[in-house]
Structure 1
């Protein structure tokens, strides 16, 4: 497997549809280029009361002072509060849509040392590990649309995302991915989600943003949501 730089692994925030079409009966409307805003709208108004934003995010520190480069790469500070990059994007989506938020967390705390986390993430990927989660969504039936957010780990979904996807019944729901990254963009993860959720509608109009562009996230998220007809 090709090695990844320290910046590539943890583009953690508060999300290119790359590759060929998918096998099976998965539906991916609007699968297009890498840019946020490409693809089709939802085709219906988004009901914030029946929408959930589920996200996995791991800021390496909660201290806004004296961060090292890895900690800075994994975080975005808002009004003195440290947020993971994906967490920040999730909060922006929730604020614009009125959706509830659900944080995907592992039962066992993940290491906050970058080198240790990097090694563990690769080992889990190579072994196909499904880390146990702290909790599953208790009321998934209340939602028709689920935004799913995650950073790119080793050009793939973080392994806790596989646990999350496999641990819920998303049949009939609309899934809208969003990612944060350090250069890998969506890295084919939209297709992987569609393969897992063959009886869901997985939007190809997925959002992706570099950890270097977090200051522009409010505008970029707003433009993307407008393209979905969701904001």
Structure 2
């Protein structure tokens, strides 16, 4: 069964290599598209109903408030939801050492029993943060595979890292 590559990413101003810089495409989106070229399947963005601001500081303010208040973040309907037993590549940035609220809310809304999930994430210094524990809780019963963790500023150069991760973790890898 062809995989689904579902990802949340933030374009606009991002913290990259110690500076705020404008990005036309978020780092996680860059990695998701590279992944799609390797494994095929359906590539789909998890988009909030109310988009995050393009300005870095405004996004920081909003995302910190969502996290502190446990505010729900609604997402736009997906063209394709994961089917049972379909490999799901799940991508997200690490915000404040954790999953963005939209990602945790999405995961909370599904039954992941038996679902093969291959997480991949980008960060700009926090590594994977607390996401391994969170994913284990939010995706109870899933076949959760080790995450690919990439520094966002190096996402476009992560081809070899991506190939090695797939070879080690994805049974249907034919690279």
Conservation of the 8 A alpha-carbon contact between 2:122 and 2:155: no
How far residue 112 of structure 1 moved from its aligned partner, in angstroms, is 1.1
Larger proportion of strand? 2
How far residue 131 of structure 1 moved from its aligned partner, in angstroms, is 0.5
Conservation of the 8 A alpha-carbon contact between 1:156 and 1:187: yes
CA deviation profile, 1:180-216 (whole Å, cap 9, x unmatched) = 010111112022011011121111x210111232342
Bigger radius of gyration: 1
Conservation of the 8 A alpha-carbon contact between 1:180 and 1:209: yes
- Please say if 1:71 is aligned against 2:21: yes
**Relative to 1, partners in 2 of residues 1:89 and 1:215: Cα closer, same or farther, differing over 3 Å?**
closer
How far residue 119 of structure 1 moved from its aligned partner, in angstroms, is 1.0
How far residue 143 of structure 1 moved from its aligned partner, in angstroms, is 5.3
- 2:147 aligns to what? 206
**Relative to 1, partners in 2 of residues 1:142 and 1:196: Cα closer, same or farther, differing over 3 Å?**
closer
- 2:16 aligns to what? none
Conservation of the 8 A alpha-carbon contact between 1:146 and 1:173: yes
Runs of 5+ consecutive residues of structure 1 not aligned to the other structure: 1-46, 62-68, 76-81
- 1:57 aligns to what? 9
* Superposition TM-score, scaled by structure 1 size: 0.67
Question: In 2, distance between residues paired with 1:167 and 1:181?
Answer: 25
What SS does structure 2 have at the residue aligned with 1:155?
A: coil
- Please say if 1:108 is aligned against 2:66: no
Runs of 5+ consecutive residues of structure 2 not aligned to the other structure: 14-18
CA RMSD of aligned residues (A): 1.8
Question: In 2, distance between residues paired with 1:104 and 1:211?
Answer: 18
- 1:183 aligns to what? 125
Greater than 3 Å deviation, 4+ residue runs: 136-139
Conservation of the 8 A alpha-carbon contact between 1:149 and 1:178: yes
**Relative to 1, partners in 2 of residues 1:143 and 1:84: Cα closer, same or farther, differing over 3 Å?**
farther
- 1:218 aligns to what? 159
How far residue 142 of structure 1 moved from its aligned partner, in angstroms, is 6.1
CA deviation profile, 1:104-151 (whole Å, cap 9, x unmatched) = 010011111111110111110011112011114644226521111100
Conservation of the 8 A alpha-carbon contact between 1:133 and 1:163: no
What SS does structure 1 have at the residue aligned with 2:83?
A: helix
Conservation of the 8 A alpha-carbon contact between 1:136 and 1:164: no
